[in-house]
Amino acid sequence: MKKDLISITDYSKEEYLKIMKLAAEFEKNPNQDILKGKVIASLFFEPSTRTRLSFETAINRLGGRVIGFVDPDSSSTTKGETLHDTIKMVSAYADLIVIRHPLEGTARYAAEISPVPVINAGDGANQHPTQTLLDMYSILKTQGTLDNMNIFMVGDLKYGRTVHSLIQAMSEFKNPIFNFIAPPELQMPKVYKLFLKEKGIRFFEHTEFTEIISEADIIYMTRVQKERFFDSIEYEKVKNMYILRNYMLKFTKPNVKILHPLPRVNEIHPDVDSNEKAYYFQQAKNGVFTRQAIIAHTMGLK
Ligand code: CP
C-alpha cells in the first residue's frame, strides 16, 4: 500500500521517531544516491520559498530528478483542466507527488486519485505535516527530548496551519503544555482545543504577550496569514499585535528557543536574530534533512 503524508496524524509516534533518526543520519551524510532513476513532481499552487526549495534540495542531494511548476498559471489549470485530471497526468509521469494548494483538503483529494504517494506541502489553513516534522526535529536537537515541553504559540493560531499540525504531533509525547497567545479573532480553532481536552493535555489561552513567556521551552512565533483574510481592515487590526524583541528574552529560560516556520513579516524584530535563543534560520535548514527522511520513508527506501 502506498504511504501518503497528508495530515501529521497519518504517522504514528514510532514513525515520528523514525523520521527524527533518519533526519539525523541525513544531516551527517546528506549526499546519498537513493533516489537515482526516480522522478518527483513538485506542484506548488501557492507561493513558497523554504518548502519547495528544501524539497528540491533534498531530492537533488538524494540523486533524484524534479518536475513540476511553481506557478499554476504556467500549467493547463489556466485552460480549465481540473485538479483531478492534473493529478491523473502527473502521477503517470512521477514516482511521488509533493503538492501545496490554498484549499483545505486538496492534498487528501490528490492522494485519493494518485496511484503514487502524495506529500502535503501545506493545504490552506489546514495542515503542514512536513513543517511539523522539521519543527519536531528542531525541538529534539535543541532540547534533547520531545517530552515535557512547554510550548508557547504566538500570533495567528486560526489560519496558521503549522501550529495545528504541531499540537497534534507533540500530543503523542509526555506531558506537553501549550500556551496559546492570540487576539480573539485569531484564536486556536475549537477542533484543536477539543482534541487536546479529549487527550487530557493542558493548554492555556492568553491575549497578552508578556512576562509569561519566561516559562517557555519553545516560543513558536507565527506570521498573521494576510492571504487568508477576506477583509483587509480585519488584517490591519491584528497585523502588529505581537512583536518579539530582544529585551523580552532577558528573563526567559536558558534552554528556550525561538522557532518560526517563516517567512516572518514583523513579528520577530531583527534585533532577536543575533540572540543565541533565536533558532528559526537553523530550523529552516533542518527542513532539508527532515524532508530527505520523509521522502526516503514514503518511498520505502530506508
Ligand atoms: N514554512 C514555510 O512553509 O515556508 P514557505 O511558505 O516559504 O514554504
Split at pLDDT 50, 70, 90, the class of 84 is very high
Percent of the chain with pLDDT over 90: 87
Inter-residue contact 31 to 267 (CB < 8 Å)? no
Task: Please check the confidence at residue 96 and state whether its pLDDT lies above 80.
Answer: yes
Split at pLDDT 50, 70, 90, the class of 212 is confident
49 CA distance to ligand 1 centroid (A)? Answer: 6
Pick the residue whose CA is nearest to atom 5 on ligand 1.
Answer: 48
What value does the mean pLDDT take over residues 119-127?
A: 93
How many Å apart are CA 3 and CA 24, to the nearest integer? 21
Which H or E run contains 191?
A: helix 190-198
* Range in 69-78, 83-92, 127-136, 137-146 with the lowest mean pLDDT: 69-78
Predicted local confidence at residue 36, as pLDDT:
97
Q: Which domains does the chain have, with CATH numbers?
A: 8-127+287-298 (3.40.50.1370), 129-284 (3.40.50.1370)
Tell me the average pLDDT of the chain.
Answer: 95
Output the CA torsion sign for 150, 155, 158, 164: negative
User: pLDDT digits over 217-260, tens only?
Assistant: 999 999 987 777 778 878 777 788 899 999 999 999 999 999 99
Predicted local confidence at residue 125, as pLDDT:
84
121 CA distance to ligand 1 centroid (A)? Answer: 9
Inter-residue contact 96 to 298 (CB < 8 Å)? yes
Inter-residue contact 103 to 123 (CB < 8 Å)? yes
Predicted local confidence at residue 83, as pLDDT:
96
Task: Please check the confidence at residue 31 and state whether its pLDDT lies above 80.
Answer: yes
Pocket of ligand 1 (CB under 6 A): 48-51, 122, 131, 261-263
251 CA distance to ligand 1 centroid (A)? Answer: 30
Q: Choosing from 50, 88, 108, 193, which is the catalytic residue? A: 50
Annotated catalytic residue 291: no
Annotated catalytic residue 50: yes
Predicted local confidence at residue 233, as pLDDT:
79
Q: Name which residue leads in pLDDT, 185 or 254.
A: 254
